[in-house]
Amino acid sequence: MEPEDSINVLGTALTMCGMDPVTGFFRDGHCNTCAADQGSHTVCAIMTAEFLAFSKYVGNDLSTPRPEFRFQGLNPGNHWCLCAARFLQAHDEGCAPKVSLEATHKRALDIVSLEVLRQYAV
């Protein structure tokens, strides 16, 4: 699995999203993607309590530690490569987290418009 070009939604080099915890489909801290990434983990989101509660409610509990998957659980303030469709769903429900545009992969634009992403830019 080779990652696609590391280009962000602004057309420049993709920057680091987060290393504590280590995020990304490739677990390299970047929101890189490839054909195998069916969830399109491309949006670099800054977690909020509201979003974490929403995600748990819709069936993706990101806040509970899962040591068997080497996952410590997310807290408000953590940066995480979020599935683009989940971000759009949270936007539609009024609880989307903030986003780092520089660290959000250009493939997120296949699902979420730049106009919507800009509304949450840090």
The DSSP code sequence of 23-67 is -TTTTSSS----TT-TT-EEEEEE--HHHHHHHHHTT---SS-BG
Sign of the Cα pseudo-torsion (104, 46, 78, 84, in order)? negative
Cα–Cα dist 94/72, whole Å: 26
The mean of the pLDDT values for the chain is 95
Single-letter code of the amino acid located at 35: A
Of the pLDDT bands very low, low, confident and very high (cuts 50, 70, 90), residue 52 is very high
Strand order in the sheet with 41-46: 79-83, 41-46, 98-99
Of 69, 63, 14, the C-alpha closest to 41 is 14
Tell me the mean pLDDT in the region 46-69.
94
Residue 17, token pair as written in the block: 């999203």
- Taking the CB of residue 108, how many other CB atoms lie within 10 A of it? 30
- Does the structure show a pLDDT above 80 at 47? yes
- pTM of the entire predicted model: 0.94
First to last CA, the chain: 31
Cα–Cα dist 102/50, whole Å: 23
- How much is the pLDDT for 82? 97
